[in-house]
Amino acid sequence: MESRLSTGAGGAGGPAGEPDRLGAREMLLQFIVIPLVLAGLCSATFLGVNWMTARDKSPEDFAQDLRSPDRRTRWVAAHEVARRNLKDPFLVPVLIELLGERSLDAELPWSPIDALKPSGQERSEIRWFAAQALGRQNDPRAVAPLREALSDADAGLRTHAALALGELSAREAAGDLARVLLSDGDAGVRKAAAAALGAAGGEGAREPLKKALADADIQVRWNAALPLARFADEAAVPVIAEMLDRARVAALQVPAAGGALRSVSEGEIQRILAAAILAADRLAPAHFAKAIQALESDPDLAVQTLAKKVRVERFKVLSKPVN
């Protein structure tokens, strides 16, 4: 009876209910907000100390950290080697070891460093960083393990391995990249394989890239069309025409963290339109002239400037309204 009267005396918003609401807020602050803030501060301190000390490290020091029994020490070292584009033959064997160390995919107990990282990413990122770093080493020893990584169960690693092979211009990997481009179940991996095949595959890349023009994913089609344009292959013309359409590009949805989708940023739109303009410049079919002339009124100044330069120098079209 006392409990019922105490709750009802103040009603839903009366004085009797106020202490309960204050208690709930205090509990929320004490048990959720404050621990999260402390975890964030600990994480920032951990990362800051590691990254500050990494500034003066030699390749030998990084190699030692990359072999550390502590996975988070390896994460910081791998991140720094990739971020700095650090190139040293001494690092290559260690990076190859990391690339093939599937035990890194196992879950570890939570640490304050995890509070600053997107959920589910830390366990694979070390191998991703290793693939990125190997792609920048200009070392032939990196090619075979990167080719093997194209068959890994982790789609993120397959993506970074493909891009790394493109950076290495690994012509011997063209067959593997073509297989991934035409058969991998992940669109992001196929997109990376298209770009890498265009960079590394030479003339032998044409046929698989042409087949990829029919891919269900628009970004795969775009990344297959761009290298074909470098070959002056007119099979790319319809896809390049799509890429010259700002409205179509702006409507694109791309993967975001957590498996969601997001709209492309203005910077991404600029890069896509610029790549399409340069591709049209290489192909130079007459029907691109109006599309490029229309981009002279694009909201982005860099796109305007590039479109005008290509139109004047390549198409020789007088400035007039687009019909």
Q: What is the pLDDT of residues 212-264, one digit of tens each?
A: 999 999 999 999 999 999 999 999 999 999 999 999 999 999 888 777 889 99
Split at pLDDT 50, 70, 90, the class of 311 is confident
Q: Say if 97 falls within a structural domain.
A: no
How far is residue 143's CA from residue 140's CA, in Å, rounded to a whole number?
A: 6
Helix (H) or strand (E) holding 224: helix 218-230
238 occurs within a structural domain: yes
Classify residue 207: in a domain, yes or no: no
Q: Is the pLDDT of residue 17 over 70?
A: no
Q: Which two tokens stand for residue 119?
A: 């959920």
Calpha distance 190→209 (Å, rounded): 11
- Rounded CA gap, 303 and 323, in Å? 20
Confidence of residue 307 (pLDDT cuts 50, 70, 90): very high
Q: pTM of the full predicted structure?
A: 0.75
Query: How many domains are there within the chain?
Result: 1
301 pLDDT higher than 90: yes
Q: Is residue 56 part of a domain?
A: no
Q: How confident is the model at residue 201 (pLDDT cuts 50, 70, 90)?
A: confident
Q: Provide the residue range defining the domain that includes 250.
A: 232-323
**Window from 94-103, 118-127, 238-247, 278-287 with minimum mean pLDDT:** 118-127
d(C-alpha 321, C-alpha 247), whole Å: 19
Asked whether residue 318 is assigned to any structural domain, the reply reads yes
Is 210 inside any structural domain?
Answer: no
In the predicted structure, residue 303 carries a pLDDT above the cut 50: yes
Task: Return the DSSP state at 255.
Answer: E
Does 117 have pLDDT greater than 70?
no
Domain annotation covers residue 214: no
Backbone angles phi, psi at 77, to 5 degrees: -65, -45
Q: Which residues touch 292 (CB under 8 Å, ≥6 apart)?
A: 244, 277, 280, 307, 310, 311, 315
pLDDT score of 276? 95
Asked, for residue 110, whether it belongs to a domain, the answer is: no
